[in-house]
Amino acid sequence: MSAGSTSAGSTSTGRTVKIAAVQPALRLAEIDWNMKRCEDLVRSAAKEHNPDVVILPEAFTCPNVYDKRLKSMAQPVDGPAYQMLKNLARELGCSVGGGFLAKRGGDTRNTYVLADPDGTTNLHDKDEPSVWEYNYYTRGTDDGVFTHPLGTIGLACGFETSRSRTARRMVAAKTNLVLGGCCWPAYPTWAFPRGWFNRDMEYYRLWAADTTRSLARAVGAATAISWHVGPIGGKTPAMPGIPWNTIMTGETQIVERDGTILARMTYEDGEGHVAADVQVKDAEPLDLVPSGFWIRPQTFTIHAVWHYMKQHGRARYAIDKALGRFDWQELPDHDIPNHNPGTVDLTAAEPTSAQANGKHSGASPASPEAGRTAGTKAEA
């Protein structure tokens, strides 16, 4: 567990923390549009819910699909996306988290950043790419857990939220608050084999719906995961000319450590944000963490697609990097630490509107519908 931000008098036991989670509908390879849309949704969530923390999903600058344009999507780790999160946290008086494709040193990684109002940032690199993501970035090595005024926080991205090793490392570090985001493109709309894919699409969406509460129960910690939503299109690895038109599953959820869902947005709910109060207490894992790769068993097709795309992507990344085909290779080989202490003295600064109003201290919403605010639909 890495050292993170601390604050005098704060405690991670028996504390109520209000979390807002954003579910955006974003566009492929349109970084500026996506960042502006996410910025607007974060502001809306902060205004509506007055939270302690607002989270965006991983890949909020560009959805992770198989498309050659993703070779141009990586930013410097402390570039525009990082600065956006820092600026929003300072302005809104709450922590703000989100993930993006970042150049760190001589490679790229799927980096999730939690920024605090005083300028502190904590970073986590996804433990390994998922399926075709191997084409665009490499594995992370940190455990994603750090101390923070809100608790002992663990960060997780995408399929990392469903892996047993994620739960094991968070249990070992006594994590009592899990935050993160997912970008899950589902099965393609191919005419063949439609019956097979329709069946597995149903299972895939059930898996997405179960992910947040399964991780919460395995770790024994309140958990909030933000997800992409909406239709998306890409290509199919190693199958030139075959499209992979599908959906981002949605399933943004905020749950208590026993898996009770406090707030939820499904695919049918579309774009928007939800919020809920969670209790951050000493971790109490409730479910056995399996010795296998996944917290929940997966279908044969999920395993088959995973392995063929993984091997294809690893080979392509190495070849493309050797041939200088990534735009990010022209950027300096620059990096920053995973923990960056803040430099702003909030006690001496002029309070923002959120700080002046104080944080919400009411009860948690009583049902999954509570705390929901539908956002304006993204333009087609």
Tell me the domains of the chain and their CATH numbers.
15-374 (3.60.110.10)
Give the chain's largest Cα–Cα span.
64
Q: How much is the pLDDT for 356? A: 38
- Which two tokens mark 261? 């869902």
- Which two tokens mark 339? 């923990």
Does residue 269 carry a pLDDT above 80? yes
- Which two tokens mark 322? 């050797």
Q: How much is the pLDDT for 191? A: 77
The answer, yes or no, to whether the previous bond of 80 is cis (omega within 30 of 0) is no
* Portion of the chain with pLDDT greater than 70, in percent: 86
Q: How much is the pLDDT for 98? A: 98
Does residue 357 carry a pLDDT above 60? no
Does residue 48 carry a pLDDT above 90? yes
Mean pLDDT of 71-84: 98
* CB of 265 closer than 8 Å to CB of 275: no
Please count the CA atoms within 13 angstroms of the CA of 104 that sit on its side-chain side: 23
Q: How much is the pLDDT for 194? A: 65
State the Cα–Cα distance between residues 160 and 258, nearest whole angstrom: 20
8 compared with 354, residue with greater pLDDT: 354
State the Cα–Cα distance between residues 74 and 83, nearest whole angstrom: 15
> Is the C-alpha dihedral spanning 76, 184, 324, 108 positive or negative?
positive
Does residue 355 carry a pLDDT above 90? no
Q: Which one, of 151, 137, 315, lies nearest residue 220 by Cα?
A: 151
Mean pLDDT of 326-349: 88
134 compared with 198, residue with greater pLDDT: 134
State the Cα–Cα distance between residues 341 and 311, nearest whole angstrom: 38
298 compared with 341, residue with greater pLDDT: 341
Mean pLDDT of 245-264: 97
The least confident of 71-75, 295-299, 349-353 is: 349-353
What is the band of 346 on the pLDDT scale with cuts at 50, 70, 90?
A: low
Amino acid, single-letter form, for residue 122 = N
Mean pLDDT of 233-240: 93
Per-residue pLDDT tens for 174-203?
A: 999 999 999 999 988 887 766 767 788 888
Name the pairing type of β-strands 107-115 and 121-125.
Answer: antiparallel
Q: Which one, of 170, 246, 243, lies nearest residue 208 by Cα?
A: 246
Q: How much is the pLDDT for 52? A: 98
Q: How much is the pLDDT for 353? A: 37
Question: Which distant-in-sequence residues (6+ apart) come within 8 Å of 352 by Cβ?
Answer: 90, 91, 92, 93, 117
Per-residue pLDDT tens for 276-286?
A: 999 999 999 99
Q: How much is the pLDDT for 363? A: 33
* Portion of the chain with pLDDT greater than 90, in percent: 78
